[in-house]
Amino acid sequence: MSHHLKFFIDGAWVAPGGTGVIDVVDPATEEVYTQIAAGQAADVDKAVAAARAAFPVFSQWTKADRLALLTRILAEYEARIDDLGAAVSQEMGAPLDFAKASQAGSGAAHIAATIEALERFEFVEQRGKTRVVREPIGVCALITPWNWPLNQITCKVAPAIATGCTMVLKPSEVAPVSGIIFAEIMEAAGVPKGVFNLVNGTGPDVGQVMAGHPDVDMVSFTGSTRAGIIVAKTAADTVKRVAQELGGKSPNIILPDADFEFSVKKGVTNCFGNSGQSCNAPTRMLVPADRHEEALVHAKAAAESLKVGNPLDVETNLGPVVSEIQFDKIQALIEKGIAEGATLVAGGPGRPEGLNRGYYIRPTVFGNVSNDMTIAREEIFGPVIAIMPYRDEEEAVAIANDTVYGLASYVQSKDRDHARRVAGRLRTGNVYINYPEWDTAAPFGGYKQSGNGREYADWGIHDFLEIKGVCGWDE
């Protein structure tokens, strides 16, 4: 039975307090394929009350009990991996194989990484005569985005469970079906009633209510910097903790001694993965000025090698972007890049040839981009890359750091010591040297307007804890 028009509150699927619904659109067809219930303040109140009531008991569970629960959640998650992949593919247009292996697969990886981190995590330490205790922070409001829905849900839910917190989750209303399936997984795993609750709805009607709720102790938010500012201001009235993972405009510095053709082509394909809808995508490629034209040739070849099309086609590399709003925004920024004088190398405005329906974007490469252009400053969140020449390393580092964002940066060099030195000068929460494999144990989060706090493994666990010092523990 479908739970699309219900919420999961206090261990049961319940009807919403109101009658409003939200259409969910398949971005590959532009057609509504289901509806979800639109939550309101009364639904949030009910879910928060359930979480508050469950906290006194759940917060006292032993680490062994919480590990056992997380292990059951992981088993149920893995049993539903095909359903999760299919849901993500339809709700956000991700190619089916990518949706299952990377989108849904990332969630399983995060739960497993949290289990491993929890096994070795120490909640108590002795410092002289004082006992330092790390305790669950309380009721947590978890607000997650549409671009990596399961990645972000599990990044928040798993450490909340690991620490003994209770929670209310609001997935993005743009891509909510995977979140509903996740709630079914939590139910099947035997999560105690009230520990995990799900309420769907819009940011203003549900997310902001959660952020400002007096009985919520912490907000963990992933989304745009604009929305993150609203969440932080709303939460400030009740002085609750706010952890945020926000926007990015990540530089990719290709040093002169890098494997140039490989570095350029890999940088383009990495930027365009998930149709460019990743906050840490390497969207600004910095190349030596005397090799700029060569970089454009390689970038054009990489962009034009990617097949854009139906997410169900096994040959598809890039599906559509998630919505009409995103499509229109990206089209406007591509037009802006042309108007401001950047060199259009590949792609451009409009849909790819042969695709007349669906929110498909042509993989687009701009050259001769200066850091004052709009396409170099604003987060585009689509398959668009800006290639920027630099005169020397000093200028490359200066350009890289000249942004309000600070989520991620990339450095390419055959000399790893050289790359490490450059990495030390970059003001970002993550630096990736020579396109490494994804690491679920690495801290993930940003400097500046890319947010605060860190996620993944034990880094995420810390964000959901309060620290208590019991002085005079020993005489």
Active site positions, annotated = 245, 279
3 state SS for the chain: CCCCCCEEECCEEECCCCCCEEEEEECCCCEEEEEEECCCHHHHHHHHHHHHHHHHHHCCCCHHHHHHHHHHHHHHHHHCHHHHHHHHHHHHCCCHHHHHHHHHHHHHHHHHHHHHHHHHCCCEEEECCEEEEEEECCEEEEECCCCCHHHHHHHHHHHHHHHCCEEEEECCCCCCHHHHHHHHHHHHCCCCCCCEEECCCCHHHHHHHHHHCCCCCEEEEECCHHHHHHHHHHHHCCCCEEEEECCCCCEEEECCCCCHHHHHHHHHHHHHHHHHCCCCCCCEEEEEHHHHHHHHHHHHHHHHCCCECCCCCCCCCECCCCCHHHHHHHHHHHHHHHHCCCEEEECCCCCCCCCCCCCCCCCEEEECCCCCCHHHHCCCCCCEEEEEEECCHHHHHHHHHCCCEECEEEEECCCHHHHHHHHCCCCCCEEEECCCCCCCCCCECCEECCEECCECHHHHHHHCEEEEEECCCCC
Cα(336)–Cα(286) distance, rounded to whole angstroms? 20
C-alpha torsion 62→64→68→70, nearest 10: 70
C-alpha torsion 283→233→197→440, nearest 10: 30
Pull the structure tokens for residue 6: 């219900």
